[in-house]
Amino acid sequence: MTKEPAWNHDFRSDILFAFGLAAAAYVGWLVRGVLIILYVSALFAVVLTPVVQATGRVHIRGKRPFQGQVAVLVLVVILLGALTGFCFLAFPPVIRDLQAFGTSTPSQVPDLIEKFKSIPYVNRLNLNTSVVYSQLKDLAAQAATQVIVSVSELAGRIANILACFVLTLYFILEGDQAYRWFLALVPPSGRQRLDKTLRRAGVGMGKWLLGQASLMALLGLTSTTVFLLLDVRYAYALGVITGLLNVVPVLGVAISVVLALLVAALDSWGRALGVVIFFAVYVQIENSYLIPRVMKSRVGLPSLAVFIALLLGFELAGIPGAMVSIPTAVLVAVLLNEYLVWKDEGATP
């Protein structure tokens, strides 16, 4: 009886492993949307877990009433309460103004056309009131059709957000079990080292949350102050929205500029110009001074690394990718520093 050569067995194992790896990569590509949601949820859980733990350490009459699931429930109730209060305070004035605008617009169209005709060179155009009004109705109908068509896409995005929210809660509550299960997949010889490395990365992610929260609060306060000085409508609501949207790098500020500019332009172009000047100055200060100082002091990443992480995150996963790009960069930097960077001459990684 002949014994099968060892090299033949190893060769077949390598082929099977290669095919298995290719199949796993193909399946991962097919379900990449679900994997992105899982990753974003897990990363948010890592970032928010220190907040839950701090809530659990709150003492009331010598006791700690907010621990475990109760702490998560308290934070969810506070979040939903703040969101509900904001909607009740911010939306009614906007709805009333929109209703008044919709009621008065048909009667104001002839006056607007007459004012438009008074502009030099425009008075040479043949503008008929009935034709213009009919075109405005057609444009409104087309806009309504586009809104109806995009409802399904919007519903899908809302479903993804809700799924991410629920998964984040599960990861916060059961994160320790999942983390121990993950470490069990690592050989015992390197398990302790990986555990310490990941915990250092978790601390860095928590510091990123504090830095991001400080930037959001600063933008919210300064924008609210400027809106009040310019006497812009819905100044408080716009300030809150501007601060919250700052969690989305680059795109959040762009959306805030558009919203504030549209609201300010309803009253006067001078206020709109003031809004543009404020955001232009603030963006320059934030990008050149605040973000490099805050993020470097909090997470220890250079400005170039932060900028590259934002570009890669937005390209790979859009807005969710941009939101978690800096925490991901912190994780990657800690892992690279631990396993690939040589500590001193003659040392091994």
CA torsion 171-176-178-184 (nearest 10°) is: 160
CA gap 134, 116 in Å, rounded: 17
Q: Which residue has the tokens 């969101």?
A: 83
309: CB partners within 8 A, 6+ apart: 301, 325, 326, 328, 329
Amino acid at 339: Y
**What residues form DSSP beta bridges with 63?**
60
Q: Is the pTM of this model over 0.75?
A: no
Give residue for tokens 């069990």.
184
List the chain pLDDT tens, one digit each, 349 residues.
555 555 555 667 777 778 888 888 888 888 877 888 888 888 888 878 878 877 777 777 777 777 777 778 888 888 888 888 878 877 777 777 766 666 655 555 566 556 555 555 555 555 555 555 566 556 666 665 665 555 566 677 777 778 888 888 888 888 788 888 888 888 888 888 888 988 888 888 878 878 888 888 999 999 999 999 988 888 888 888 898 888 877 778 888 888 888 888 877 888 889 999 999 998 888 877 777 777 767 777 777 787 788 888 888 777 777 778 888 888 888 888 888 877 655 544 4
Using alpha carbons, select from 226, 260, 267 the residue that is nearest to residue 241.
260
Question: Nearest-CA neighbor of 262 among 94, 109, 136?
Answer: 94
The residue type found at 248 is V
Dihedral-angle region of residue 58 (phi above 0 means left; psi in -120 to 50 means alpha; beta otherwise): beta
Vertex 334: Cα angle to 208 and 25 (nearest 5): 100
Length of the chain: 349
pLDDT of 162 reads 84
Beta-bridge partner residues of 7: none
